[in-house]
Amino acid sequence: MSEAPLRFPVSRPVLAGRERDYVCDAIDSEWISSTGPYIGRFESAVSDYLGIEEGLSVCNGTVAIHLACLALGLRPGQDVIVPSLTFVASANAVAYCGANPVFADCDPETWNITRESLEAVWTPSTAGVIAVHLYGLPAPMKEITELCEERGAWCIEDCAQGFGAKIDGQCVGSFGDASSFSFFGNKIISTGEGGMVFVRDSQKRTFARMLRGQGMDLNRRYWHPIIGYNYRMTNVAAAIGLGQVEKADLHLGERRRIAAHYAEALKPLADEGLIALPVEPEGYHNVHWLFSITVAGGAGVRDRVGARLRAVHGVENRPFFVPMHKLPMYDRGQSLPNSESASRCGLNLPTYTGLAAADLDVICEAIHEEVRRESRVKVAA
């Protein structure tokens, strides 16, 4: 099959605000490294937007989780429960600490972990839980934090995909003992590469701040009482981020519009059971980082639909993540049927600011054509 030109990428960064002005200002000022006014301004803007105290900017979302784990005291040999259906970084950050990621299954409709799925894999060595707000839908944080409190464990929220998502009006990232964000180029707001970590307890937050800056005492230059890391963000990246966060309402509003369009246009396929659409439980605000569907019939059907969407119609798409418990370094023969099933059937569709209604119609028409083609093949077979 010769491939059509790419018409609709899965995501694209849209720099629709003052990013260019701020970056030029940062360059003109010669503050291009990890000191400079944009770092503090970006940290304050994100913290204020989310309503969470004192975010620390870092150079990516993976190290934000690593710092959160270290700040909460994760030690080698302890267990941390992580969803199996997530990006690998959520589990790797645990492994960086010499601790063991233990994988929990997801709910078949929300694709997020639940209280029950955590209870099923809890061990006496469980020190904490990393909850991920997958594809932009909040994980059930009230149930998860309740369970953690009952059992004396901590909870980190990995909000890489959930910037601006809410439960009962409260932003994700504010429920756990710590939380992390990613500002990679495909995220809801971006700094190119970048991230942020929030730590609720102020002493632990100070520890995270020291770890971020080579373990240096915050009041005594070149005095390093602990081994730290260089996990800092640059002033140039923060300048992009400030322009982005000033437009956060636009980016979040656009995703809601796009999701509503997809849901309406794809409803007939869902009504016939050929696909399933993302859900939004009562009180939950899904930010639809990527609009995601599952295609009935398993990996073969999903892969053929995905391949033809790209090759014939120029519609880029992505399969869901491979569940962590199936990756070579984490495979201990565990079976997590909901995560495996979602991973076999899930497809992420183009979702970015500015994706026009007419373009969404073209994409949805292509999805109808390819999903129906597969269902005809099945009937004929």
Ligand X SMILES: Cc1ncc(COP(=O)(O)O)c(C=O)c1O
Examine residue 90 and tell whether it contacts ligand X (CB under 6 A): yes
Give the binding range for ligand X (CB under 6 A) out of 99-107, 153-161, 276-284, 306-314. 153-161
Examine residue 161 and tell whether it contacts ligand X (CB under 6 A): yes
Q: With respect to ligand X, which residue has the nearer C-beta, 257 or 318?
A: 318
Examine residue 352 and tell whether it contacts ligand X (CB under 6 A): no
Angle at 201 between CA 194 and CA 203, to 5 degrees: 90
Q: With respect to ligand X, which residue has the nearer C-beta, 92 or 100?
A: 92
DSSP H or E stretch at residue 101: strand 100-104
Give the binding range for ligand X (CB under 6 A) out of 66-74, 99-107, 155-163, 230-238. 155-163
Give the binding range for ligand X (CB under 6 A) out of 81-89, 324-332, 343-351, 359-367. 81-89
- Least separation, in Å, of the C-beta of 58 and ligand X? 9
Please compute, for residue 59, the number of CA atoms within 13 A of its CA located in the half-sphere on the CB side: 10
Which strands make up the sheet holding 275-276, listed edge to edge? 275-276, 291-295, 346-349, 318-319
Q: With respect to ligand X, which residue has the nearer C-beta, 85 or 258?
A: 85
Examine residue 163 and tell whether it contacts ligand X (CB under 6 A): no
Give yes or no for a contact between 180 and 65, defined as CB atoms under 8 angstroms apart: yes
Examine residue 339 and tell whether it contacts ligand X (CB under 6 A): no
Q: With respect to ligand X, which residue has the nearer C-beta, 86 or 244?
A: 86
Q: Which of 87, 175, 284, 330 binds ligand X (CB under 6 A)?
A: 87
Q: What is the spatial distance between Cα 182 and Cα 186, in angstroms, rounded to a whole number?
A: 9
Q: With respect to ligand X, which residue has the nearer C-beta, 110 or 161?
A: 161
Backbone angles phi, psi at 101, to 5 degrees: -70, 130
Structure token digits, residue 54: 């004192």
Give the binding range for ligand X (CB under 6 A) out of 84-92, 135-143, 237-245, 356-364. 84-92
Q: With respect to ligand X, which residue has the nearer C-beta, 290 or 367?
A: 290
Q: With respect to ligand X, which residue has the nearer C-beta, 102 or 132?
A: 132
Examine residue 375 and tell whether it contacts ligand X (CB under 6 A): no
Tell me the H-state helices in the chain.
Answer: 19-29, 37-50, 61-71, 89-96, 115-121, 141-151, 202-212, 235-245, 248-271, 299-313, 337-345, 357-380
Give yes or no for a contact between 7 and 315, defined as CB atoms under 8 angstroms apart: yes
Q: With respect to ligand X, which residue has the nearer C-beta, 194 or 297?
A: 194
Residues 176-215, one symbol each (x = binds ligand X by CB under 6 A, - = not), give: ------x-x----------x--------------------
- CA 10, 256, 167, 203 torsion-angle sign: positive
Expressed in percent and rounded to 5, the helix, strand and coil fractions of the chain are 45, 15, 40
Angle at 171 between CA 167 and CA 175, to 5 degrees: 80
Q: Which of 23, 74, 82, 132 binds ligand X (CB under 6 A)?
A: 132
Q: Which of residues 232-291 bind ligand X (CB under 6 A)?
A: none
Examine residue 343 and tell whether it contacts ligand X (CB under 6 A): no
Kindly list the residues in this chain that would bind ligand X in the complex (CB under 6 A): 60-62, 86-87, 89-90, 132, 158, 160-161, 182, 184, 195
